[in-house]
């Protein structure tokens, strides 16, 4: 278990002064930090079809980028390249554990843990992200520079690599094992490797209005909602053929507004959408599935662990109905499951004792059995 050490101030102070506002170097944020996975294991992950990976390197001074899977790295030499694996927390519980120290932020804001392995002078180049990130330095050393927010030009250094112009640094420091660099959205940054290095980026995501409206439109279509047609009985005689007048425009607006005013519908949309993962999960369906009573027995002495990266949320507006959203799917246990849902969603690990009071509810035992059999949760050994 990793513990986050802030430089002489509280998490509340961090949230008030730094989160989303200012970058911060947290020296020795993790004490005695050791890479949760090795460079070799990382290279192995990047050979897998289901894992999203990238190589970034320079060839004759020009930036190059390739997407995985990769079968060998020998051609790359010893310098000026880096290998990046997205959502590495989906594939290794030791990486998922890196997420825990950041639980002062809600899980719906978390994106994933991205890992990079880089060689001397390697890195992805100067760029700007739309996400908050905690870059945790593992083995090796890298020099990180962060610039101020501003109107930085962005351009494609390669078709798959968005860079920004050189910038004046407001942070320019060498990171060593256990150092953490927090960078809010919009701050240009560039990490250049001094000695072969592992960097663990715990990334947070936020959605745009555009994303949310697409999700809302999809939700209405999928769930066959909002199908009532606009009504205009009692309309007055219209005289200007081409005019969409104030009264008609108000009708159209009211039709849209009535959906936004539907709190349960919005809760279902937001819960469903935000609980969907961007990258594939490592779902290991059981070859010999549990019967419900068998799972109940196994849980007596055991515990359930959530598969890395599984997103599982509840929303105030629907939790009284025992509703949770698991990997995009809405499950309703009814009012008698309303206290179970926070237990399920708030903990990465569910000890048998924590679950025991709920296993007598058939809907809950059935859902747990289905999830364990499909690999969403697994029994701790």
Tell the smallest beta-carbon distance from residue 84 to ligand AKG (Å): 7
Tell the smallest beta-carbon distance from residue 133 to ligand AKG (Å): 4
307 binds ligand AKG (CB under 6 A): no
108 binds its own copies (CB under 8 A): yes
Q: Which of ligand AKG, its own copies, Co ion, none has residue 130 at its interface (CB below 5 to 8 Å by kind)?
A: its own copies
- Cα–Cα distances (Å) from 264 to 4, 123, 229, 339, 356, in that order, read 37, 45, 21, 18, 30
Residues contacting residue 296 through CB under 8 Å, at least 6 positions apart: 359, 365
Residue 8 or 234: the one with the smaller Cβ distance to its own copies is: 234
Q: Which of residues 59-118 bind ligand AKG (CB under 6 A)?
A: 82, 114, 116, 118
161 binds Co ion (CB under 5 A): no
Residue 94 or 129: the one with the smaller Cβ distance to Co ion is: 129
The β-bridge relationship of strands 323-326 and 329-332 is: antiparallel
CB atoms within 10 A of CB 78: 9
Size of the site for its own copies (CB under 8 A): 78
Tell the smallest beta-carbon distance from residue 47 to Co ion (Å): 24
Of residues 7, 9, 69, 103, which one binds its own copies by CB under 8 A? 103
Q: Which of ligand AKG, its own copies, Co ion, none has residue 375 at its interface (CB below 5 to 8 Å by kind)?
A: none
Q: Which of Co ion, ligand AKG, its own copies, none has residue 287 at its interface (CB below 5 to 8 Å by kind)?
A: none
Of residues 129, 173, 248, 351, which one binds Co ion by CB under 5 A? 129
* Residue among 44, 89, 83, 81 nearest 67 (CA): 83
Residue 88 or 323: the one with the smaller Cβ distance to ligand AKG is: 88
User: Angle CA(135)–CA(344)–CA(100) in degrees, nearest 5?
Assistant: 20
Beta bridge partners of 144: 173, 191
Dist. CA 155–CA 185, nearest whole Å: 17
Residues contacting residue 156 through CB under 8 Å, at least 6 positions apart: 162, 163
Beta bridge partners of 62: 59
Size of the site for Co ion (CB under 5 A): 1
201 binds ligand AKG (CB under 6 A): yes
Stretch that binds its own copies, among 158-166, 188-196, 267-275, 292-300 (CB under 8 A): 267-275
* Residue among 227, 345, 338, 378 nearest 275 (CA): 345
Backbone angles phi, psi at 141, to 5 degrees: -140, 140
173 binds ligand AKG (CB under 6 A): no
202 binds its own copies (CB under 8 A): no
Dist. CA 273–CA 219, nearest whole Å: 9
Of residues 51, 110, 124, 180, which one binds ligand AKG by CB under 6 A? 124
CB atoms within 10 A of CB 13: 11
Backbone angles phi, psi at 232, to 5 degrees: -140, 40
Dist. CA 276–CA 113, nearest whole Å: 16
Residue 118 or 307: the one with the smaller Cβ distance to ligand AKG is: 118
Q: Which residues bind ligand AKG (CB under 6 A)?
A: 82, 114, 116, 118, 123-124, 129, 133, 135, 189, 191, 199, 201
């Amino acid at each position: 278990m990793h513990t986050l050490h802030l430089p002489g101030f509280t998490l509340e102070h961090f949230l008030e002064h730094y989160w989303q506002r200012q970058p911060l170097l947290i020296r020795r944020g993790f004490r005695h930090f050791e890479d949760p996975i090795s460079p070799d294991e990382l290279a192995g992950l990047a050979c897998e079809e289901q894992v999203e990976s990238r190589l970034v390197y320079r060839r004759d001074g020009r930036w190059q980028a390739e997407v995985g899977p990769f079968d060998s790295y020998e051609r790359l030499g010893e310098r000026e390249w880096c290998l990046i694996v997205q959502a590495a927390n989906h594939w290794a519980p030791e990486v998922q554990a890196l997420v825990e120290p950041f639980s002062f932020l809600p899980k719906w804001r978390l994106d994933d843990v991205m890992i990079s392995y880089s060689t001397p002078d390697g890195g992805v180049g100067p760029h700007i992200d739309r996400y908050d990130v905690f870059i945790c330095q593992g083995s090796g050393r890298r020099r990180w520079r962060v610039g101020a927010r501003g109107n930085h030009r962005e351009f494609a250094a390669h078709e798959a690599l968005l860079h920004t112009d050189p910038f004046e640094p407001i942070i320019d420091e060498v990171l060593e094992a256990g150092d953490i660099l927090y960078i809010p959205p919009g701050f240009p940054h560039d990490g250049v490797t001094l000695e072969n290095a592992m960097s663990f980026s715990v990334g947070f995501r936020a959605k745009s209005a555009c994303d949310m409206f697409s999700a809302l439109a999809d939700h209405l279509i999928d769930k066959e909602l909002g199908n009532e047609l606009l009504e205009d009985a009692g309309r007055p005689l219209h005289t200007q053929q081409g005019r969409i007048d104030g009264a008609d425009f108000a009708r159209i607006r009211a039709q849209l507004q009535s959906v936004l005013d539907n709190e349960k519908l919005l809760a279902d949309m937001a819960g469903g959408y935000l609980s969907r993962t961007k990258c594939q999960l490592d779902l290991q369906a059981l070859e010999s599935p549990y019967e419900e009573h068998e799972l109940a027995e196994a849980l007596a002495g055991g515990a359930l662990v959530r598969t890395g990266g599984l997103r599982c949320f509840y929303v105030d507006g629907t939790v009284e109905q025992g509703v949770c959203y698991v990997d995009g799917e809405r499950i309703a246990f009814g009012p008698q499951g309303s206290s179970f849902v926070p237990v399920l969603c708030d903990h990465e690990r569910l000890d048998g004792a924590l679950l025991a009071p709920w296993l007598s509810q058939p809907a809950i035992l059935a859902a747990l059995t289905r999830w364990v059999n499909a690999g969403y949760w697994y029994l701790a050994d």
